Chains A and B, each alone.
Chain A
Amino acid sequence: SYVVTQPPSVSVAPGKTARITCGGTNIGDKSVHWYQQKPGQAPVLVISYDSDRPSGIPERFSGSNSGNTAALTISGVEAGDEADYYCHVWDSPTDYVFGPGTRVTVL
Chain B
Amino acid sequence: VQLEESGGGVVQPGRSLRLSCAASGFTFSTYSMHWVRQAPGKGLEWVAVVSFDGTNENYADSVKGRFTISRDNSKNTLFLQMNSLRTEDTAVYYCARVVEEMATTGPIDYWGQGTLVTVSS
Contact between chains at B46 and A98 (CB < 8 Å): yes
User: Contact check: which of A54, A94, A101 meets B44 at CB < 8 Å?
Assistant: A101
A96 to B43, CA, bound (A): 14
Known A-B contacts A42-B113, A43-B111, A98-B44; the reply to A1 vs B61 at CB < 8 A is yes
Task: Annotate A95-107 by CB proximity to B: 1 below 8 A, 0 otherwise.
Answer: 0111111000000
Within 8 A of A (CB), among B58-72: 58, 60-61
Q: Hey, which chain A residues are within 8 Å of B114, CB to CB?
A: 42
Which A residue's beta carbon lies closest to that of B44? A98
A97 to B61, CA, bound (A): 12
Asked if A48 is at the interface of the complex by the 8 Å CB criterion, the answer is: yes
Contact between chains at A98 and B43 (CB < 8 Å): yes
Question: Residues of A at under 8 Å CB distance from B?
Answer: 1, 31, 33, 35, 37, 42-45, 48-49, 54, 84, 86, 88, 90, 94, 96-101
Top-7 shortest CB links A-B: A33-B107, A42-B111, A48-B107, A94-B58, A101-B43, A96-B46, A98-B44
Question: Residues of B at under 8 Å CB distance from A?
Answer: 34, 36, 43-46, 49, 58, 60-61, 94, 99, 105-109, 111-114
What are 27 A-to-B residue pairs whose CB atoms are below 8 Å?
Answer: A35-B44, A35-B108, A42-B94, A42-B111, A42-B112, A42-B113, A42-B114, A43-B44, A43-B94, A43-B111, A45-B107, A48-B99, A49-B107, A86-B43, A86-B44, A88-B108, A90-B105, A94-B58, A96-B46, A96-B49, A97-B46, A98-B36, A98-B43, A98-B45, A98-B46, A99-B43, A101-B44
